[in-house]
Amino acid sequence: MIKVLLRDDALREVPAGTRVVDILNELGGRLKKEALAAVVNGVVVDLTHQLKEDAKLLFVTFNDNEGQDVYRHSTSHILAAAVKRLYPQAKLGIGPSIKDGFYYDFDNPNSFVPEDLEKIEEEMKRIIKEDFPFERIELAREEALAYFAERGEDYKVELIRDLPEDEVISCYRCGEFVDLCAGPHLVSTGKVKAVKLLSLAGAYWRGSEKNPMLQRIYGTSFPKKSLLDEHLTRLEEAKKRDHRKLGKELDLFSIQDEGPGFPFIHPKGMIIRNELENYWREEHQAAGYAEIKTPIILNRGLWEQSGHWDHYKDNMYFTKIDDLDYAVKPMNCPGSMLIYKTKMHSYRDLPIRMAELGLVHRHELSGTLHGMMRVRSFTQDDAHIFMLPSQIKDEVKKVISLTEKMYSTFGFDYHLELSTRPENSMGSDEMWETATNVLREVLEERGLPYVVNEGDGAFYGPKIDFHLTDSLGRTWQCGTVQLDFQMPDKFGLFYIGEDGEKHQPAVIHRVIYGSLERFMAVLIEHFAGAFPVWLAPQQAVVIPISSRHHQYAAEVVQFLKESGIRVDADWRNEKVGYKIREAQVQKVPYMLVVGDKEVEEQKVSVRERQAGDVGSLSLVDFLAKIQKEIKTKAR
């Protein structure tokens, strides 16, 4: 007999070999209907998994992240089974679950078109209705190689050859379809209740431009049609808010064929960017930061010294100057280290907070580029804090407080992730443990909830990541706080301590916006292009009813412009209603209509972007109103 500990600390004794589903059937109730998989001693497994030793057993449903992963990964197998039925010549790539859905990659002789998705989706529904069980099959390595080679599944053969020699190969069968997979999966295809295929894209096999381009089919699935409908509604709203669409309509930025991944910011976009920079400078000056600027191109020796040459070279751009190797900077930190080294520092000088709006370049695969969300050239609102070891906690807390303050201005909620040591890292185990524990202690002392993101730290240190939640409930990783003991050592940084000896400072690397380009894109989608007044490229438009009101309209424009308001007039010979609709399409916060009455009373008839007509105000009163909104950064 073995002991099984359940979620409510109930202990059961069952025979070795008992299936998880047998315990679930005994428990009954709602859980029996909703459980999708189980977690046994921390590992997610199928419900058909056999227990062979004492175990802690938890069941997961669609309300759990693990449950959603199992549900959607199983749906990706159904997708692959449907494609193989309809297009037997298609070769299988991989098909993981992703946030809110799944995808599967195929190598098909003919390109899939949107109409094919409808056929494939209908075939998926037939496979779901047939309710095939997901059966786990374990094969010896050579047996698995022979099976997939015989069927011409070259990509599966490659994956198997990359697995350890002594590893047992697991596959899953549903109906006639068999796929290489570690699992786990649902009990059967019939557990999937609502499915929708969404889009097509190209994707290099295993993410390398050197490999063939495969066809990727994206989809999603839910246990209820109502949940799917809600999700599709959110997707439609997201399309309307797509920063690429709004960026073009509002004339904010463009991506040109001459520079893929290198955004062009237009005049209206520059107004938003400059306001973001002004706000950033205002808050950083108040928080004790000094602004710096470092070169974009620096020599190879520096990048070798910093560790980027060994750990980040594939993401960098290179050039030669006087026959010497140089690199375009992918990060700003080495420049800050060099500035710190230009003079001697005492312990009394620390902390030193250097802030930089630094332009960096990183090589991203063409298939991953996405408007201003994923680019090759962007400006980081970087800062590097050089401090005594005793100051680390206090400085991390101050960074968190500043970040919270700035995010609240835009109306963002957020959650935190603590990212730990990655595989490709520098430094000793002891250093990483010390640095990670410091960040963990700060979060716990502040009472901030967080999740651990294993293995996603920077190569030189652990970090706290801020994930913003926008108005549609989507999350975006923007801010980060990284603790670093590596670069101070590599650059030989020191300060003179109270004892008159040299000591090594600790360094915090941090960003709040993350990248100005990406943050602008997030703001465009968050506000659906309807920016608060302080950010709006055009804060007001004056609309004369007819040509005889042009003179007064010009006086209104001049008065407001002289007071610092971004305002223009619509002089076109069009109806007032048309001009108002045009201003609303352009998301202008205020429309000021002027006609005979307004000229006589020296007022303006005010329309707000959302509230509509709010009545007449004198120019002085309107100016006071809009200036207050700008000063307080009202949303």
Q: Which residues pair with 356 in a beta bridge?
A: 382
* Set 72, 174, 243, 380: catalytic member: 380
| Catalytic (active site) residue 380 | yes
C-alpha to C-alpha distance for 457 and 465, rounded to whole angstroms: 9
C-alpha to C-alpha distance for 265 and 253, rounded to whole angstroms: 4
The amino acid that residue 214 corresponds to is L
| Catalytic (active site) residue 463 | yes
C-alpha to C-alpha distance for 336 and 345, rounded to whole angstroms: 14
Place of tokens 């312990």: 347
| Catalytic (active site) residue 509 | yes
DSSP per residue, 114-132? HHHHHHHHHHHHHHHHHT-
- Residue 322's region, left for phi above 0, alpha for psi from -120 to 50, else beta, is left
Q: Which residues pair with 170 in a beta bridge?
A: 138
3-state helix, strand, coil in the chain (%, to 5): 40, 30, 30
Residue 43's closest CA among 70, 23, 80, 71?
A: 70
C-alpha to C-alpha distance for 197 and 109, rounded to whole angstroms: 21
Crossing angle, helix 392-410 and helix 267-286, to 10 degrees?
Answer: 140
* Set 185, 216, 353, 509: catalytic member: 509
What 3-state DSSP class applies to 61? Answer: coil
C-alpha to C-alpha distance for 535 and 629, rounded to whole angstroms: 11
Tokens of 84: 């193989």
C-alpha to C-alpha distance for 174 and 177, rounded to whole angstroms: 5
The amino acid that residue 292 corresponds to is I
Residue 73's closest CA among 42, 49, 95, 105?
A: 95
* Set 284, 353, 384, 526: catalytic member: 384
| Catalytic (active site) residue 384 | yes
Residue 497's closest CA among 382, 609, 389, 583?
A: 389
| Catalytic (active site) residue 64 | no
| Catalytic (active site) residue 174 | no
* Set 171, 174, 333, 478: catalytic member: 333
Residue 195's closest CA among 34, 38, 71, 37?
A: 71
Crossing angle, helix 516-526 and helix 225-241, to 10 degrees?
Answer: 120
* Set 231, 308, 362, 579: catalytic member: 362
| Catalytic (active site) residue 239 | no
Q: Does 462 sit behind a cis peptide bond, omega within 30 degrees of 0 on the bond before it?
A: no
Query: How many other C-beta atoms lie within 10 A of the C-beta of residue 504?
Result: 14
Cα separation values, 373 from 92, 184, 516, 520, Å: 30, 33, 10, 9
* Set 179, 382, 470, 570: catalytic member: 382
Catalytic residue list: 333, 362, 380, 382, 384, 463, 509
